[in-house]
Amino acid sequence: MRFEVVTDIGQKRTVNEDSAAVFEIQDGPTLAVVADGMGGHRGGDFASSTAVRILGEQFMKVDNLASMEEEDWKDWLQDTVLQVNRTIFEIAEKDVEYKGMGTTLDAVLIYENKALVTHIGDSRVYTINRNEILQITKDHSFVNILLDSGEITEEEAARHPQRNWIMRAVGSEKSISPDFYQIQLDEQTYLLICTDGLSNKVDNERIKAIVTSDGDLHEKAVKLVELANEMGGEDNISVILASPYGSEVSQ
């Protein structure tokens, strides 16, 4: 797969508390990670960058690739996310400057024609092709609880004053339970991992139209970020966009 990573401070913030990176093992799997930090300028930036750094470091140390199967990778992701959570939580407990910090986390492990997703918070993973855009992850947010209970509609959720309140984050509690999803990839499907700086500003149909349009993968990723900024850019914006098999998806 080809990957493009774009992260932007947005129009209103003074610090970019997002982190995003792709880690590739030659002739092996790839790990794409997006994190959106919270807890003040210093804490949010530290939490998200620490999450991405630890996941990347641990991933590049995996040495028994030939014997790793799906359940092994799931166990590895679970253990590593728990390690990240402990690290951030313990630092926040000891240092008042970091008190209350945390981060969303979406880590996508891509191997062969599959992807294994681990998810905490309200950053998102989508699959996109010419026919549909599908949100793979489910937001751990206050608004999503209201949606699930039928108390508000999708339209009300989009403008709800507490739409940015998340109910689960890495590092904010002593223990954490990540969600897992399995994706079957094909040669027609893009993978998009993004923070809510994109998903809160640009609707699904516009995201789909940009991603499936003609053009270079980098240009598409940049255009998503630019559109979020044009729509207000109140938050940091991060995007990892991937197309399969080392080339653009044929239209």
- Closest-CA residue to 20 (of 102, 108, 84): 108
Supply the pLDDT for residue 72: 96
Domain that holds residue 132: 2-246
Supply the pLDDT for residue 250: 39
Supply the pLDDT for residue 157: 67
Query: What SS3 class is residue 111?
Result: strand
Q: What is the pLDDT along the chain (251 residues), one digit of tens a residue?
A: 899 999 999 999 999 999 999 999 998 999 999 999 998 657 999 999 999 999 999 999 998 888 999 999 999 999 999 999 999 999 999 998 899 999 999 999 999 899 999 999 999 999 999 999 999 999 997 777 777 777 776 666 666 666 667 889 999 999 999 999 999 999 999 999 999 999 999 999 999 999 999 999 999 999 999 999 999 999 999 999 999 754 454 33
Supply the pLDDT for residue 144: 73
Supply the pLDDT for residue 247: 47
Q: Domain of 151: which CATH number?
A: 3.60.40.10
Q: How many domains does the chain have?
A: 1
Residue 44 in any domain: the answer is: yes
Residue 157 in any domain: the answer is: yes
Q: Which amino acid, residue 41? A: H
Q: What distance in Å separates the CA atoms of residue 47 and residue 56, rounded to the nearest whole number?
A: 14
DSSP state of 120: E
Supply the pLDDT for residue 160: 66
Residue 131 in any domain: the answer is: yes
Query: What SS3 class is residue 176?
Result: coil
Residue 225 in any domain: the answer is: yes
Q: What distance in Å separates the CA atoms of residue 147 and residue 143, rounded to the nearest whole number?
A: 6
Residue 251 in any domain: the answer is: no
